[in-house]
Amino acid sequence: MADAEIRASLAALAGQTALLAEANFAARAAALDELELHLLGWPAELPPTTAAALRRQAETLQTQLEAVDQRLFQRLQADIRAGRLAPAELRALLTAYAGPPDPDPEATRYDHLDALTNGLFPVPAQPLQPQFSDPEMVYYQKTPARIISRLAARLAPADVLYDLGSGLGQVPLLVHLLSGATTHGIEIEPGYCQYAQACAEVLDLPHVRFHCLDVRRADLADATAFYLFTPFTGSIMREVLVQLRKLARHRALKLFSYGPSTEALQEQPWLRRVGEEGHLYQLAEFRSAA
């Protein structure tokens, strides 16, 4: 991109005063993405002084827009701590700020809702190195926020959801905020678990708890629902499914899956899938057989 094009792009962004309104989160997120592309590098043919001036201009605008987001996040966090946002109200706010979901039911990409919900959690995420290297334990990946929203919509306040392999805790935290259900995260990595529990405590969410232990030793007796984003495979998956089948003898269970763990659940004769089958990267729901 030539000097004139970069200047025009930055001037156009700076002229969009509506970006400074908190409610225009999606447009601001798109603008920040564009600024990030500018800041990643400048054309080699630009003189150093010109590149430095343009960088300062881009960084100033970036700082302004990020400050608006920080005010929005702090206000939402304060409303959550004070109990001023019921699940329905928070769902409406998130939709208004991040925009409607992708109309494609098979869309799996991260979007503005992920950027918005990341900002709800006030504890800064630090680079955490996993301590466990069992080849049957799958490396942590975040569930897209749109998938978490769909999961929350299928739960009631009376439900007790366990996220098996909860990572940094976004699923239990968001599901509780969007549904009112009690949620638990089971996570073997101490750093992940500590981060997630800190988020729950700072937001004053007593009905969200995280437990640092191997899921095979977890007490799941009060569960009504489970979520799995392929946290483990092989013998661990088989042991856990045996454990869940025993629980299903005493109460009806709902199991939700995203990713390859869906295939393992589909093979279980004691589970029936709700709705039509789709690709692996969409939310799948199973119910325990009577």
Q: Which of 115, 118, 116, 168 is nearest to 141 (CA)?
A: 168
In sequence order, the 6+-apart residues with CB closer than 8 A to the CB of 203 are 77, 80, 81, 120, 121, 122, 173
Q: Which of 203, 210, 222, 226 is nearest to 155 (CA)?
A: 226
Would you state the pLDDT for residue 52?
Answer: 81
Average pLDDT over the chain, rounded to an integer = 89
- Which two structure tokens, joined as six digits, stand for 102? 């992708």
Evaluate whether 173 touches 200 at the Cβ level (below 8 Å). Answer: yes
Least confident of 35-44, 123-132, 240-249, 258-267: 123-132
Could you give phi then psi for residue 194, rounded to 5 degrees?
A: -65, -40
Exposure letters 110-127 (e unless 16+ CB within 10 A, then b): ebbbbbbbebbbbbeeee
State yes or no: pLDDT of 107 exceeds 60: no
DSSP 144: P
Q: Tell me the pTM.
A: 0.89
Q: Which of 234, 239, 236, 268 is nearest to 253 (CA)?
A: 268
Q: At what angle do helices 87-98 and 145-153 cross, to 10 degrees?
A: 150
**pLDDT band of 279, cuts 50, 70, 90:** confident
Would you state the pLDDT for residue 234?
Answer: 87
State yes or no: pLDDT of 120 exceeds 90: yes
**pLDDT band of 174, cuts 50, 70, 90:** very high
Mean pLDDT to the nearest integer, 242-252? 95
Identity of residue 72: L
Least confident of 39-43, 48-52, 211-215: 39-43
Identity of residue 19: L
- Which two structure tokens, joined as six digits, stand for 43? 């054309």
- Which two structure tokens, joined as six digits, stand for 105? 């039911």
Mean pLDDT to the nearest integer, 22-48? 81
Sheet arrangement for strand 182-187: 208-212, 182-187, 160-164, 225-228, 254-257, 284-288, 271-274
Cα 25 from Cα 91, distance rounded (Å)? 15
State yes or no: pLDDT of 47 exceeds 90: no
Mean pLDDT to the nearest integer, 119-142? 70
Evaluate whether 73 touches 119 at the Cβ level (below 8 Å). Answer: yes
State yes or no: pLDDT of 46 exceeds 80: no
Give the CA radius of gyration of the chain.
22
State yes or no: pLDDT of 94 exceeds 90: yes
Evaluate whether 195 touches 73 at the Cβ level (below 8 Å). Answer: no
Burial of 144 (0-12, 13-18, 19+ CB in 10 A): buried
Evaluate whether 250 touches 220 at the Cβ level (below 8 Å). Answer: no
**pLDDT band of 129, cuts 50, 70, 90:** low
State yes or no: pLDDT of 257 exceeds 90: yes
**pLDDT band of 197, cuts 50, 70, 90:** very high
Least confident of 20-24, 119-123, 139-143: 139-143
Query: In this predicted model, what pLDDT tens digit does every residue of 153-168 receive, in sequence order?
Result: 999 999 999 999 999 9
- Which two structure tokens, joined as six digits, stand for 29? 């997120």
**pLDDT band of 198, cuts 50, 70, 90:** very high
Query: In this predicted model, what pLDDT tens digit does every residue of 79-88 receive, in sequence order?
Result: 999 999 999 9
Cα 205 from Cα 184, distance rounded (Å)? 11
